[in-house]
Amino acid sequence: MNQFSAYEILLVACSVVIVSYLFSVIHRLTRIPSVLLLLGVGIGLRYLADVSGVQLRIPPATVEVLGTLGLIMIVLEAGLDLEVRRNNLKTMGNALRSAAIILLLSTMGVAALIKKWIPEADWLQAIVYALPLCVVSSAIVLPSVHHLSEDKREFLVYEAAFSDVIGIMLFNFLTAQTIIELADVLRFLGSIPAAILLSIFICFGLMWLLVNNRANTKFFLVFAVLTLIYMGGKGLQLPSLLTILLFGLVINNWEWISWPPLKRFFSDMEVNQMASFLKSITAETAFVVRTFFFLFFGYSIDLSLLNDADVLLLGSSIVLALLALRFLYLRILHRYELLPELFYFPRGLITVLLFYKIPAAFQLIRFNEGVLFFVVLSTSAFMMVGALLYRDHPQERDYGARSEEPAENLTALE
């Protein structure tokens, strides 16, 4: 393995960040997802490394750590971007139903395809492999909806955020044990209200920490606490992502809180300042984490796997099934518009992270990881097609521009 000096590593890292920023600008001009560009750079670097004989191995733990940090940042960023208003409660309800129903239908449909392709797999194994492939990536959707009208933008942002949270909660539950009984299901459902109640106390505790901490290291202290909560909740089989999401939601929608004792502890001015600070630093940190995650993921893609006929056939079947089920729900059950919502079903960070977290007891030797690469690339390409076909250019504020804080521009970066 080639050895690189600290200066060379810093040079490459800074160049990657600059290139990623340029990609976000290109995305706004051309609607080509910056994720595809980052993946393309990673794939190109892998090809050049193979041709030149340079052996650079990225430890799987590095990608996993980046994925976990990115997951927490994405959920927090989504909570800080979601506005709860009386006139958008219906949109939130529609997005929640869409995320839950499409996720469940897609998981069962893809599991059936995997079961047919690999007959020796049991249904639980097939579902565990299917679930990551059915989670919509908010890491790709959030920066890609700036050109849409407000109602379409809100629906897609809510849907992606709910899909992430529901998908991760189900995955953690399904992989906690190899045999699932009715008591386990009831325990899981009962843990959700308990997690919400616990999240409320944790949320106000973190707010108190932010307001009363006079040091300049507020954010990363809170982020460290959120990371510990996520890891601890996962170990206790609690949906701890709800805590992170609710934390962002409460701060961003403080005007809904009218209980006088809380208003005495946290003034509107303090909370608004906190929200502006968190939005800015969260957007910047998420940008950096996503940049390196997708670059490393692109570098890890072995293009030879995509030449496998089985990979192309199974991958195409999965993508078409995802598209068909989304069409059926949006057009027939929900009676929603198809353009561009039909094409906004990219798979990305969450899909990759969950796929590589499948426990050994559930792993299928015959499942080729080239299928994962194919689904991620294909669904991102479909989203690009949908963005290009949608010709409406509303003259409204960009996504995330609810105030004049620095996060206005940074939210669009990937």
pLDDT tens digit sequence for 118-142: 988 889 999 999 999 999 988 788 7
Residue 279 vs residues 132, 187, 274, 323, 342: alpha-carbon distances, Å: 28, 35, 9, 33, 29
- Position 400 pLDDT exceeds 50: no
pLDDT band at 214; cut points 50, 70, 90: low
Which of 337-346, 347-356, 371-380 is predicted least confidently?
Answer: 337-346
Select the more confidently predicted residue: 55 or 29. Answer: 29
Is pLDDT above 70 for 251?
yes
Whether 202 shows a pLDDT value over 70: the answer reads: yes
pLDDT at residue 243 greater than cutoff 50? yes
> In terms of pLDDT, which residue wins out, 110 or 169?
110
Q: Assign 3-state DSSP to the chain and report helix, strand, coil percentages, each to 5.
A: 75, 0, 25
**Rounded CA separation 162/372 (Å):** 22
Model confidence at 100, pLDDT cuts 50, 70, 90, reads very high
**C-alpha to C-alpha distance for 294 and 135, rounded to whole angstroms:** 17
Asked if residue 294 lies in contact with residue 346, where contact means CB atoms within 8 angstroms, the answer is no
Instruction: Point out the least confidently predicted range of 193-197, 237-241, 340-344, 349-353.
Output: 237-241
What pLDDT score does 239 carry? 65
Lowest mean pLDDT among 19-28, 154-163, 335-344: 335-344
Q: Residue for token digits 């996962």?
A: 234
Q: Would you tell me how many other CB atoms lie within 10 Å of the CB of residue 58?
A: 15
pTM of the model: 0.80
Give Cβ neighbours of residue 48 (< 8 Å, ≥ 6 apart).
Answer: 54
> Which tokens hold the place of 133?
């492939």
**Token pair in block for residue 273:** 């300042």
> At residue 314, does pLDDT exceed 80?
yes
Q: Over pLDDT 70: what percentage of the chain? A: 88
- Residue 407 has a pLDDT of 38
Type of residue at 157: V
**pLDDT attached to residue 2:** 57
Evaluate whether 296 touches 66 at the Cβ level (below 8 Å).
yes
**CA distances, 164 to each of 94, 134, 263, 351 (Å):** 16, 10, 32, 9
135 backbone dihedrals φ, ψ, rounded to 5°: -90, 125
Q: With bands split at pLDDT 50, 70 and 90, how would you rate the model's confidence at 395? A: very low
CA distance 239 to 165: 9
pLDDT at 164 over 70: yes
At residue 234, the pLDDT reads 65
Residue with tokens 């997690």: 195
Packed helices 60-81 and 241-252: angle between N→C axes, nearest 10 degrees: 30
Q: How many CA atoms lie within 13 A of 296 on its CB side?
A: 22
Does pLDDT of 396 surpass 50? no
Torsion angle of the four alpha carbons 249, 166, 140, 231, in this order, in degrees rounded to the nearest 10: 80
Q: What is the average pLDDT score of the chain?
A: 80
Whether the Cβ atoms of residue 43 and residue 51 lie closer than 8 Å to each other: no
